[in-house]
Amino acid sequence: RDQMRVGDGVLFYHSSCPEPGIAGIADVASAPYPDPTQFDPRSPYHDPASKPDAPRWLLVDVRALRKTRLLGLAEMRE
């Protein structure tokens, strides 16, 4: 997480759906920055242990490069 750099390649993974799996290829489009939802008490992702001067959760922006056929979990395990 802390070593992601702009331009690094990533696999775009669909989760929380009927068939989870890899659905595309993307790249990292921004440097890591604190996820603002961790500090918002109204957010379902609020983390009271996370402090602005020491965030526990980081995120990056990604840029979609191309969609792929869905590569599901069963196929990845093979």
Residue 78 has pLDDT above 80, yes or no: yes
CA distances to 18, 58, 66, 71, 73 from 2, in Å: 31, 8, 25, 27, 26
pLDDT digits (tens, 9 = 90+) for 17-49: 899 999 999 999 999 999 999 999 999 999 999
**What confidence tier does 16 reach under pLDDT thresholds 50, 70, 90?**
confident
pTM equals: 0.78
